[in-house]
Structure 1
Amino acid sequence: MLSHFRRISASDGIVSVFVYAFVTLFALFSFIPFWLVTINSFASESELGKHGFRLLPGEWSLDAYKYLLTGKQIYYSYGVTLFVTIVGTAAAVIITSMFAYVLAHPKIKYKNQLSFLTYFTILFGTGLVGFYIVITMWLGLKDTIWAMILPSLINPFYTFILVSFFRTLPFEVYESAIVDGAGDYRIFFRIIWPISVPAIATISLFYAIFYWNDWWLALLFVDDYKLQPLQLMIRQLVSNLNILSYIQGSPGSYSGGLPNQGVRLATVCLTIGPIVFLYPYIQKFFVKGLTIGSVKG
C-alpha cells in the first residue's frame, strides 16, 4: 500500500514538473515579442536598419519618442481616448447589462421579440450611408466626442453573453426581493449586479479594449484635430512619416532623417501600455464564484 502511494506521488510530481515547464516556456515565448517591441523602441534607427530586432540593442536612442511627443496633439488625443474609454465603458456596461437582464428575465412579456431584434442586428448590419446620416443629421453628433461613444453603447454579442450568465442565476433571488418590497432597479443594482461582477467585469474589459482601439468612428465623424483619439492620431502620424521618409529617402538618424521603424515600435508601446495595466485588475474577478450562497434554504 505504501509503495502504491509512493508511485502515485512520483507520477503526480512528474506531471507537475511537466506542467510548470510547459507554462514557463509558453510564458517566455509570449513575453519575448513584447520585450523585443519595447526594448527596440529605444534603439537608434541605424541600429534597427543594420541589425533588426535584437534582445539588447547596441545603440540606444530616444528619437522615436521625441518625434512622437513633440507638440500638443498627442496629449489632446490621449485625453480624448481616456475620456471615451472611461465614459464609454461605464455607460455601455450599465446599459448592456440592464438590457441583458431584461432579455433574461422570465417574466418580461416581449423579451422574445427584443431578443430577435437584437440577434437580427448581428446578422444584418446597417449600411454605411444610413449610419452616417443618422449620426450626423438626425442626432447631430458631427465633430463631437459623443459620436465616438453613443453608437457602441450596446454590442449584441456582449449582450447575449450577459443574457446567458443572468439565466444561470437562481430566480428565487428575484422572488425573495419582491416579497421584501424591493423594486426592479433596486433588485438589479443591489442584488443582481453584485453577484454578477465576474461576467460584468469581463464585458467591461471587452468594451474598454474596443473603445481604446477604435479609430473608425473618429475617422467618420470627427474633423476637429483636438477631438481625434490616440489611435487615429497615430495612424495619421505613421502615414505622414511614411510619406516624408519616401520623399527624403532612406532615414539614417533623426538628425539626418526620420526614425521610421522606431516610431512604429514606440507607437505600440504608447498605445497598449494603459490597457495592458487594466488586465491584472480585471483578472481577479474572473475566478470569483459570487453566486455561491446567494440562495439559502
Structure 2
Amino acid sequence: MWEQIYYNFVANRYQTDTYWNFPGSTAVAAFNRNWLLITRLSNFLLNLFPFVAWCQIPISPLHPMHIPTIFSNYPALFYFSYCIYGPAMMYSFCFVASYIKTLFQTFSSLIFFILPILQEELALTSKKARKVRKFKCSPDLGTSPEHLVFVYRSLQLGMKEIRLVFGRYLPIIQTFLGQLGISTGYVLIAEGGKIDLVTRLTFSICVPFAVLSWVALMTCAAKIQKSAKDCLTSWRVHGGGHWESRADRKYMSKFRKSCKPMFFGLDGFLVLTHKSVMKFMQGIIRGVFRTLLALKKKK
C-alpha cells in the first residue's frame, strides 16, 4: 500500500510540475483563490464551534446531560467536578473542530484539484477558449493521448488511495447521521413541547447543521463521478474528430474501454452519486413520517 501511495505522490508531483507550472498557466492561481476562499469561511465557523458548543455548560449547568449533575446533592463535589469537566469538554470540542478542519481542507483541496482537470482539460466537450478559462494547464495536456492517459491514471490512483483510507467510514457516518436525523425530527415534532428550551435549541441547530454539511460533502463528491463519466463520454463522442492520427484514435478507444469513471465511496458497497444523495434525504424524511405514524398508532 505504501508503495502505491509513494507512486501516486510521485505521479501527481510530476503532473503538477509538467502541466501546471508553465508560463501563462492559471491553474495554481485559480486553485489557491478558490481553496482559500472556502477554507477561510470554514475556519471561521469551525473556530467558533468549540466556544458555541461549550457555552451550553454555563448556560444550563444543571442539565442531566452534563456528568457533574450526578453530584448535585454534594455542592463541594459538584463544583470540583465542574472544574475538571469544563476544561476537558473545551479540549474535546477543540480537538473535534481541528480534526474536522483538517478533513474538510483535505477534501476541498481534492475537489478543487480534480474537478477542473476533468471538466476543462481532459474532457473534449469544453467549448471555452483556453485563453479565457479561469483554470488552464499546459497546452500539451490536450494535444497528445499519452498525456491524457497519464493524467487520468494518476487521478484514478489518487482516488483509489483515498477510498482505501476514508471509504470504510462512509457507511458508518451515513447510517449514524441518518438515524440521528430521524430521531431528532421525531423528538422535535412529537415531543417538542415536553423538552426544555436548551435541548430543543441544541437539536434544532446542531443536528440539521451536521446533516446538511454531510449532504453538501456528498454532493461535491458526487460531482467527481459525474465529471469523470462525462469525460469518458466525450472521448467516445468527440474523440474521432479531435485526434488527427488513426493510431491516436485507436489508442484512445482502447484506453477508454479499459477505464471506469472515478468515484468516491467504498468499493463494492457504496458509490456517492447525486442519486444516492437524494435517496439519503428521502430516507430521512420518510423515516420521520413513518416513525410518527407507527408510534401514533401504538398510542
Higher relative contact order (CA 8 A, sep 6+): 1
TM normalised by structure 2 equals 0.32
The structure that is helix-richer by fraction is 2
